[in-house]
Amino acid sequence: MLKLIKLELERNNLKSYIIGGCLITLSILGLVYLFAAIPHIDPSDPDVGIFLTYNGISALALIILAACFTILASVMYNKLVIAEYTSKKIYLLFSYPIKKERILAAKLITVFAFTVISAIISGIVIFSVFFLSEGLFQLCEDTLTIQVILRVAILLLLSAVISAALATISLWFGYWKKSATVTMVVGVIIASVFGSIASEIFLAQGRMQLVFVSIITIVTVFLAIFLIMRVSKQIKNTDV
Amino acid sequence: MPSELAIQTHGLYKSFGTKEVLHNCSLSVKQGEIYGFLGVNGAGKTTMFKLLTGLLTPTAGTIQILGEDITTQRESILKRMGSLIEVPVFYEHLSARKNLEIHLSYMGMENNFSKIDETLDKVGLKGAGTQPVSEYSLGMKQRLAIARAMIHKPTLLILDEPMNGLDPVGIHEIRELFRSLVQEFHVTILFSSHILSEVEQIAETIGIISNGRIVNQISLHDLKKDPSFNLEEYFISVTDRGC
Ligand SMILES: Nc1ncnc2c1ncn2[C@@H]1O[C@H](COP(=O)(O)OP(=O)(O)OP(=O)(O)O)[C@@H](O)[C@H]1O
Ligand SMILES: [Mg+2]
């Protein structure tokens, strides 16, 4: 399996996705500073409370991060899976003496792992820069404790998994409709729906926050497994 | 034990929805022969090749390739087979060499990396190995597809219109290549073509498919015993009868 993943990486140029990941990181970093600056720009606004705490700012940043990486993962699923199985490239894939499921699994693992790893790296960069600069020049009213950092780390891990898992919805739609456009549009819709639902959950208070986010992670992972199994079965039985 | 026949199909049927494309086809290709598969556009040649390479599943009937059943022994057969179906597909942004390396890796034949230059040379692509395939001409892609089909040392080649887009020199080179593969390595070659003069020159046996039925399978050598034999006239008379 490792060899198949290596071959996927060799023949699919991941450079554009890495650039995409970097752009997401920079944009979110910019947003984080914007959020933190809002209370200083207009302290009279009653809704600015959320921007004064590390919990509030990190929750918002993570939601946007998860939404962006969901779209990035959808684009990757389109390139590595949908485009290959719905075009003449399938002749090539199916001429190798390797079980069809194994080749597909290698592709899915590649996208999943790439999404999770790049989302985590992106989050680490964003929060390291922000928290370090807070040490030099504090914008939030909170105190930065180990607990805060730990909570952000756990939420980042879960958000990364959620992104990769949610994008399988675009994979399923895109494969079903055999269309790159459908994949992208569904990716964007999921990202925005997720963004609005998640804002309630990520901003929940105290211990409930981690519990809720863990629940969404588990639900999306199960959904992803279900959708992947369906797509896998269809691909295995394609007549080309 | 592998049988004498490289390919044998029995009562093969293939339908797409209600449309029947292959009807009760029994194809027999002997080991070590060059078999030319002929038929008008839409007769069912590509469909037959897709069934033989496991891309399609038959509606009914059996397919034995190199003594094994393609539906149950797919991976084992594919390892020993080289194929080209319809237009050749590549990873266009990569070089020809890289395409072949990836192909060999998937075939589990990494130790054949050293054969890449030699194989490119054989199909007339000497010195073009570092060029990205997107910059290749149609005929160059066709040559590269033939190189890819043979580089993992298969014992059976299934090639759908391999001469498509080749210049006269290319056709001549590929003909010599086919002959040497058969003589040196006892490879079996099943190919389809619309260039009858070509088929006449290199095929030992021809099979003619018309409207999804194999209407004739015959040794070209026997046919040529008749001095007035003309493949084109023969082909037209046989396919007419099939209609
Ligand atoms: N996926 C498919 N769905 C429906 N019909 C198909 C499909 N593939 C092929 N056919 C039909 O099967 C018939 C045979 O097609 P095939 O491609 O095998 O012909 P061919 O002999 O290779 O022709 P050509 O010389 O033009 O390459 C055609 O009538 C075609 O319309
Ligand atoms: Mg054809």
How far, in Å, are A7, A8, A9 from residue A13 at the CA level? 11, 9, 7
Of the pLDDT bands very low, low, confident and very high (cuts 50, 70, 90), residue A155 is: very high
Whether A15 contacts chain B with CB within 8 A: no
Inter-chain touch A239–B55, beta carbons under 8 Å: yes
CB-CB contact of B133 with B95 (8 Å):
yes
B21 lines ligand 1 (CB under 6 A): yes
Per residue in B96-153, pLDDT (tens digit) is 999 999 999 999 999 999 999 999 999 999 989 999 999 999 999 999 999 999 999 9
Percent of chain A with pLDDT over 70: 100
Continuous segment of H or E residues that includes residue B202: helix B196-202
Q: Report which of B54, B52, B8 is spatially closest to residue B31, judged by C-alpha positions.
A: B8
> At residue B243, does pLDDT exceed 60?
no
pLDDT band of residue B241 (cuts 50, 70, 90) is low
B50/A96 touch (CB, cutoff 8 Å), yes or no? no
Query: Do B63 and B9 touch, CB atoms closer than 8 A?
Result: yes
Q: In Å, how far are A81, A110, B133 from A104, measured between CA atoms?
A: 7, 10, 24
The finding on whether B55 has its CB within 6 A of some atom of ligand 1 is no
Share of chain B above pLDDT 90, in %: 81
By C-alpha distance, which of A201, A224, A207, A212 is closest to A63? A201
What are the two backbone dihedrals, phi and then psi, of residue B17, each rounded to the nearest 5 degrees?
65, -125
Joined tokens for residue B186? 């006892």
Each residue of B25-37: pLDDT tens digit?
999 999 999 999 9
Q: Where do the CATH 3.40.50.300 domains begin and end in chain B?
A: 1-80+155-243
Q: Is the C-beta atom of B44 inside 6 A of ligand 1?
A: yes
Per-residue pLDDT for B242 more than 80? no
Residue-level pLDDT at B1: 39
The model carries a pTM of 0.91
User: Contact A232/A104 with Cβ under 8 angstroms?
Assistant: yes
Question: Quick one: pLDDT at residue A229?
Answer: 95
pLDDT exceeds cutoff 90 at B223: no
Q: What residue of B is the nearest CA neighbor of A11?
A: B91
Q: What is the pLDDT of residue A223?
A: 96
Over the stretch A186-209, which tens digit does the pLDDT of each residue have?
999 999 999 998 888 888 777 788
pLDDT at A46 over 80: no
Structure tokens at A108: 């899915």
Best substitution site from B12, B21, B22 to test ligand 1's pocket, by max atoms within 8 Å of Cβ?
B21
Report the alpha-carbon angle B18-B22-B26, nearest 5.
145
**Domain B1-80+155-243 class in CATH:** alpha beta
Q: How far apart (Å, rounded) are the C-alpha atoms in residues B31 and B182? A: 10
Closest alpha carbon within chain B to A10: B102
Q: Residues of B numbered 83-122 whose beta carbons fall under 8 angstroms of chain A's beta carbons: which are they?
A: 83, 85-87, 89-91, 93-94, 98, 102, 105-108
pLDDT of residue B76 exceeding 50, the answer is yes
Task: Residue A88: count other Cβ atoms within 10 Å of its Cβ.
Answer: 13
Kindly report the average pLDDT of chain B as a whole number.
Answer: 92
Chain A residue with minimal CA distance to B15? A239
| A92 near B CB under 8 A | yes
**B3 pLDDT band (50/70/90 cuts)?**
low
The model's pLDDT over A12-31, given as tens digits with 9 standing for 90+, comes to: 989 999 999 999 999 999 99
Show residues of chain A in contact with B79, CB under 8 Å: 97
3-state secondary structure of A197: helix
Least confident window among A112-116, A118-122, A234-238, B59-63: A234-238
Give the amino acid at B212: G
* Protein residue with its CA nearest to atom 4 in ligand 1: B16
